[in-house]
A = this chain, B = another copy of it.
Amino acid sequence: MAGGFDVVGKSTPKLDGPDKVTGRTCYLHDLELPRLAHGKILRTRLPHARIVSIDTSRARVLPGVLAVLTGADVEPRPFGFAKDQVALKRGKVRCIRDEVAAVAAATATIAEEALALIQVEYEELPAVFDPLAALEPGAPLVHDERSTNLHDLRYRFNHGDVEGALAAAAAVVEDTYRLNFVTPACLGTMVAVADWDPAGNLTMWSTTQVPFLYQRDLSEALGIGGDRVRVMQPPVGGNFGRGLDIYPIDVIAALLARVARRPVKIEFDRLEEFIACPTREPCTIRLRTAADRDGRLLARDAHVTIDGGAYTSWGSTTPYVMLSTVAGLYRVPNVRFDTTIVYTNNPYSGSMRGYGNPESTFAVESQMDDLADQLGIDRLELRRRNLSKPGDVNPQQFVLTSFAMGECLDAVADEIRRDPPPPRPGQKRGVGYAGMFHVGGGARIYRSDGCGAIVKLDDFGKVTLITGASEIGQGSETVLAMIVAEALGVPLERVDVVNSDTSVRPWDVGTHASRTTFVAGNAARLAAEKVRAQLLAIAEGQLEEPAAALDVKGGWVVVKRDPRRRLPYEAVARAGHFRDGGRVLVAEAFYDPPTAMLDKDLQGNVSAAYTSAFQAALVDVDPETGRVTVRKVVSAHDVGRALNPAAAEGQVHGGIHMGLGYALSERLVVEQGQVVSQTFMDYALFKADDMPDIVVRLIESIDAEGPFGAKGLGESGVIPVAAAVRNAIKDAIGVRFHELPLTPERVHAALGAA
């Protein structure tokens, strides 16, 4: 029992784990429906071209073909963050992902054959693939109706006197950091299954992780009421932010199903996933950091240029989070931030775990190391001197309540020295550090950051939590079940979680911003507490004690001062049910954290809690080949309270895995607008053998607002990795890199140049 708890605080295997490891899980890919038809999408082969003609006549007559659609066949309804794309393109194509036609057929093979029969004539147009080139006069326009490729989106922030601080500084470091396309590389590719009923109601089975926003966005893209869309979320093989928006796959599946009058499934193969899955955005961060002679930060000044690609999805909005690191990672009194977001003929980006923060943390923490070097101050000491502390209100008006970054730093500094792995002959060893700052109590991006929950306790003691929250592999089912079990006082195995159908679940904004444990957890806790109160009210009569004298613990309703007087909680539930004026036990709750949206000056306390982490990476660099081997990563996280320590560690492991790929090996190669990476042979995800020893330290700051003190953790593992590795390589070989990934080729070239 951890801290008086029966359930939370104990490492608990994921409830969906046994099904997954035994192959029982019915993933979205496995979904079969009667009369299911299969959809395929024809994409452009040119990144920028006028569509002269599309001849679908041969495809339409192929036996087994049920529907063929082009932009000419459907009403153009723009969707996406900036409403700048339609599902089936008309007039011209703007990037290699662009959809020009789609087919539904009795089988996927027939649909593929039909695609091959569609003749599209293009007139190639000059294209632009670099954001700075795209802003030059006379550059080809991605959207003809706009007079410029410069996006309307701009994130500007100004706090304090940056110029004055720069002028007064003892040291200023300035560099430009370049980040490339990476892709989430989910093992389960994107899938959309659409089914219309005769009354015009649409059921969508989707890889979305924001089902209620998806319900809204998809209905708008189809021109129907949101009340006509039901969204189902079967288990998915990863998402990592990919499911934060609707994409043409979703709209096209629905359009095809409407014409075919049959359910239609579109499932990306791996090649299509590389081409058409939203990526992490490529960007350039120009950053200056200024400090006094003691290393106290005086100012940061950042300018981010984002290659938005041809259309606007969440990738173009990541400066929202980049700013929070520029302004919030360590105490910085003066901050300036600006952006240039540009349309190009490249693929467009979406949301990906960390959502701008791995990018900005790479810049900020690389620069912290370089600043320490310039000032001659120990790297950890420099960071210690600038730590944010509980009670801080940062330049964006973020209010830090629980905040244990110092403890994270100390834990990592201590742990990385223990048991170093044996050195490798001829290799150079280095240790690098990086911290991170992130929301940990939701993030009010939308007007509601809330989540609803319904808890039901049946005659058999079975508890069901119906939650708005979306399980996308992060373990939310398990932690929410634990929260309900703890709040109710019942064994975990008696709690079921229902979380995959918008018709049944109450609203939730979705899985993003590491918010599920905090927000959905609080909703679940509140609903469970109501059911607990109902139980105690019934037990008053049975145990002849007032509710305040009773407790529910381990499945028993007990008299607190005489625990031998007790009843199984399910017997209490039945007694409440099977009597005159009886009732069954159901309660609902809604939790929306006490936060504010950012105002026009990008200020406002967006999260009910903030979190931090600190990492150290120990690397060996082979000077002969430039190959970097990460031998050990230590990662300490302020989790508020570790409700499920094993799952929390797992989240960190997964984040480190993704971060190491970002740091060292992963790059979605896009050349002249074409996606060149097409298989896992090309796209070098870290494999199990590539992974270093990992030590995770979970630091408990016990947040006053979080459920049982917990804060969010979903993204913090990935965020500091690239910076820590970069700083470790610098420590090993003295080379300061400013661009990722740090491939052997790049390291070797730098060693040669040095």
Bound CA span A583–B212, Å: 15
Chain B residue with Cβ nearest A578:
B447
A503→B462 contact, CB < 8 A: yes
Indicate with 1 or 0, residue by residue over A445-466, a CB within 8 angstroms of chain B CB atoms. Answer: 0011010101010111110101
Chain B residues within an 8 Å CB radius of A216:
459-460
In the complex, the answer to whether A18 meets B586 with C-beta atoms within 8 Å is no
Is A581 on the interface with B (CB-CB < 8 A)? yes
Q: Which residue of B lies closest to A570 (CB)?
A: B227
The yes or no answer to A504 lying at the interface (CB within 8 A) is yes
Query: So how many copies of this chain end up in the complex?
Result: 2
A79 CB within 8 Å of chain B: no
Interface centre among A33, A464, A503 (most CB of B within 10 A): A503
The reply to whether B460 and A226 form a contact with Cβ atoms under 8 Å apart is yes
Task: Judge whether A693 is part of the interface by a CB distance below 8 angstroms.
Answer: no
A215 lies within 8 A of chain B by Cβ: yes
Which applies to chain A's interface (DSSP): helix, strand, loop or mixed? loop
Instruction: Indicate which residue in B26, B212, B454, B458 contacts A459 across the interface (CB closer than 8 Å).
Output: B212
Query: A78 within 8 Å of B by Cβ?
Result: no
Q: Does A506 contact B (CB under 8 A)?
A: yes
Q: Is A219 an interface residue (CB 8 A)?
A: yes
Task: Please tell me which one of the listed residues B198, B583, B594 contacts residue A590 in the complex, with CB atoms under 8 A apart.
Answer: B583
Find A460's partner among B197, B219, B464, B587 (CB 8 Å cutoff): B219
Question: What's the Cα separation between A507 and B461 when bound, in Å?
Answer: 12
Q: Are A503 and B464 in contact (CB under 8 A)?
A: yes
A287-321 contact mask (Cβ, 8 Å, vs B): 1 or 0: 00000000000000000000000000000000000
> Shortest CB–CB separation between residue A233 and chain B, in angstroms?
15
- How far is B24's CA from A212's CA once the two chains are assembled, in angstroms? 26
Known contacts: A212-B459, A577-B448, A588-B587. The answer to whether A227 contacts B506 by CB under 8 A is no
Q: Is the CB of B212 within 8 A of A458?
A: yes
Which residues A401-452 have CB closer than 8 A to chain B?
447-448, 450, 452
Scan A1-42; emit 1 where CB is below 8 A from any B CB, else 0: 000000000000000001100101010001011110000000
CA distance A472 to B657 in the complex (A): 51
Q: A480-492 toward B: CB 8 Å interface, digit per residue (1/0)?
A: 0000000000000
Q: Is the CB of A197 within 8 A of B19?
A: yes
Q: Check A503 against B498 for contact (C-beta < 8 Å).
A: yes
Contact among B447, B570, B584 for A506, CB-based, below 8 A = B584
Query: Of all chain B residues, which has the CB nearest A17?
Result: B198
- Complex CA–CA separation, A329 to B229 (angstroms): 50
Chain B residues positioned under 8 Å from A26 (CB to CB): 33-34
A592 within 8 A of B: yes
In the assembled complex, the Cα of A587 lies from the Cα of B464 at a distance in Å of 16
Checking B506, B507, B577 against A507 with a beta-carbon cut-off of 8 angstroms, the contacting residue is B577
Minimum CB–CB distance from A742 to chain B (whole Å) comes to 42
Contact B582 A459 (CB under 8 A): no
Chain A positions 208-232 with a Cβ under 8 Å from a chain B Cβ: 212, 215-216, 219, 225-227, 229-230
Asked if A584 contacts B458 (CB within 8 A), the reply is: no
In the complex, A30 Cα to B263 Cα: how many Å? Answer: 15
Assembly CA distance A588 to B466 (angstroms)? 13
Residues of B within 8 A of A18 (CB): 197-199
Task: Say how far A28's CB is from chain B's closest CB, in angstroms.
Answer: 13
A212–B462 alpha-carbon span in the complex (Å):
12
> In the complex, which residues 183-201 of chain A have their Cβ closer than 8 Å to any Cβ of chain B?
197-199
How far in angstroms is the closest Cβ of chain B from A34? 6
- Indicate if A502 sits at the interface (CB-CB under 8 A): yes
- Bound together, the chains give a CA A577 to CA B579 distance in angstroms of 36
Complex Cα distance, B229 from A583, in Å, reads 21
Q: In the complex, are the beta carbons of B578 and A448 less than 8 A apart?
A: yes
A452 and B34 alpha carbons, distance in the complex (Å): 32
As a 0/1 sequence over residues 503 to 543 of chain A, the CB contacts with chain B under 8 angstroms (1 = contact) are 11011000000000000000000000000000000000000
Task: Verify if A75 is at the interface (C-beta below 8 Å from B).
Answer: no
Q: Once the chains are docked, how many angstroms separate the CA of A577 from the CA of B30?
A: 36
Taking CB atoms, residues of chain B closer than 8 Å to A580 are 594
A227 is contacted by which of B226, B460, B501, B577 (Cβ under 8 Å)?
B460
Report B-chain residues with C-beta under 8 Å of the C-beta of A592. Answer: 581-583
Write out the residue numbers on chain B whose beta carbons fall within 8 Å of the beta carbon of A30.
34
Residue of B nearest to A215 (CB): B460
Nearest-neighbour CB distance to chain B for A76, whole angstroms, equals 23
Q: A578-B447, A582-B592, A592-B581 are in contact. Are A227 and B454 (CB under 8 A)?
A: no
Interface pairs (9), CB distance under 8 Å:
A26-B33, A212-B458, A219-B460, A226-B458, A226-B460, A462-B503, A504-B504, A580-B594, A586-B588
Given A454-B454, A586-B590, 14 extra CB contacts under 8 A = A18-B197, A18-B199, A19-B198, A212-B458, A219-B460, A226-B460, A226-B462, A230-B496, A450-B584, A458-B502, A458-B507, A498-B501, A583-B590, A583-B592
Q: Which residues of A contact B (CB under 8 A)?
A: 18-19, 22, 24, 26, 30, 32-35, 197-199, 212, 215-216, 219, 225-227, 229-230, 447-448, 450, 452, 454, 456, 458-462, 464, 466, 493-494, 496, 498, 501-504, 506-507, 570, 577-584, 586-588, 590, 592, 594
9 shortest interchain CB distances as A-B pairs: A226-B460, A227-B462, A18-B198, A447-B578, A227-B460, A586-B588, A583-B590, A507-B584, A452-B584
